[in-house]
Every structure is written in C-alpha cells, then in structure tokens.
C-alpha cells in the first residue's frame, strides 16, 4: 500500500477543534491564555474572558498583578514603562498566541493587535481570522450610500 492509499491519521488538534464550539471554545481560549501567562510570565490574570464576533476574537485579561519591578515603577510614577515592558512581552508571545488561536479555532489569523493598560490592569489580545466562526455573527455594512436628496428616511 503506497502513501496515497493509506487512511489519514487523525490529527488530535483537528479532532479537538471539531468538538469545541460556542462557550466551550471561548473557555478553551481563555484557559489557554491564562496557562501561557502563568508559564512564561510567572503569573496569570485573575480574570480572563474571550469574546468572538464573526471573524474577530478578543481575549481580555484583567488583574494580572504587577511583578516586583512593575510595582516599583508604578510607585515611582512611571506607568508608561510598565506598559512598554508588557508590550515587549506581548511581542515575544505573539506567535504562541497566534498558534493557540489557530489550533483551537481551525482558522488562520490574518492580523493580531495587542494592548496593555495599567490602571485598570487590563491586557487585550485581538485576533482577526480568515473567516467567521460558526455561531458568532455580526451585521456588516458595505459602502453605504446616503439616500438621494429630498428622500425621507423611514
């Protein structure tokens, strides 16, 4: 039997993704991000919530807590340095974040935006994916035209 005749070996990630939908998918994304932060940052956020709308996924993490160096900078009235450090960390984590979204959703990430904020302590990871997630819709307006002059809107 040559390679073309062999049945495909199931991919566990693809199988897991096929089972995840709705709230289970959102929970898996949130849980994965918290675990990554705990592993690579040394602590994770106290709260994480994932939102999906059409082809956009937003992971909001709250109350990560400040490391000793971040708290020292905050006490010295240098919150911009804390934001800069967190943005550097997010840049280092970018590919891990993208890989996680792609594995869990089965979609390709076409754009990634990351934002850190210190008061309140928030981190946002925003992903634009190549096609909408099933069950998460949005209304889209394409090139809206104004009504002709003298026409009343109803």
- Please give the average pLDDT of every successive group of 10 residues along the chain, which has 154 residues: 48 52 91 90 82 95 81 86 86 94 96 89 93 77 70 61
> CA 150, CA 119: separation in Å to the nearest integer?
49
Question: Which pLDDT value is given to residue 101?
Answer: 96
pLDDT for res 71: 81
pLDDT of residue 154: 57
Cα dihedral: 34, 40, 46, 48 (round 10): -30
Nearest to 97 by CA among 138, 37, 20, 139: 37
| Token reading at 70 | 């971040």
pTM reported for the whole predicted model: 0.74
Alpha-carbon span 63 to 122, nearest angstrom: 7
Q: Are 93 and 36 in contact (CB under 8 A)?
A: yes
DSSP class of residue 101 equals H
- The confidence score (pLDDT) of residue 151 equals 66
Q: What is the pLDDT of residue 8?
A: 46
Which residue(s) pair with 119 in the sheet?
Answer: none
- Give the number of other Cβ atoms within 10 Å of residue 138's Cβ: 9
């Amino acid at each position: 039997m040559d390679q073309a005749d062999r049945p495909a070996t199931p991919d566990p990630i693809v199988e897991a993704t096929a089972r995840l939908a709705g709230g289970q998918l959102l929970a898996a994304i949130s849980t994965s991000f918290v675990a990554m932060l705990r592993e690579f940052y040394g602590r994770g956020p106290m709260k994480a919530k994932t939102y999906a709308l059409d082809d956009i996924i937003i992971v909001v993490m709250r109350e990560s807590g400040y490391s000793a160096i971040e708290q020292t900078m905050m006490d010295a009235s240098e919150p911009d340095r804390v934001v800069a450090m967190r943005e550097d960390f997010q840049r280092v984590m970018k590919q891990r974040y993208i890989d996680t979204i792609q594995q869990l959703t089965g979609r390709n990430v076409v754009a990634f935006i990351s934002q850190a904020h210190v008061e309140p302590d928030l981190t946002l990871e925003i992903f634009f994916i190549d096609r909408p997630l099933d069950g998460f819709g949005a209304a889209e307006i394409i090139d809206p035209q104004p009504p002709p002059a003298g026409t009343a809107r109803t």
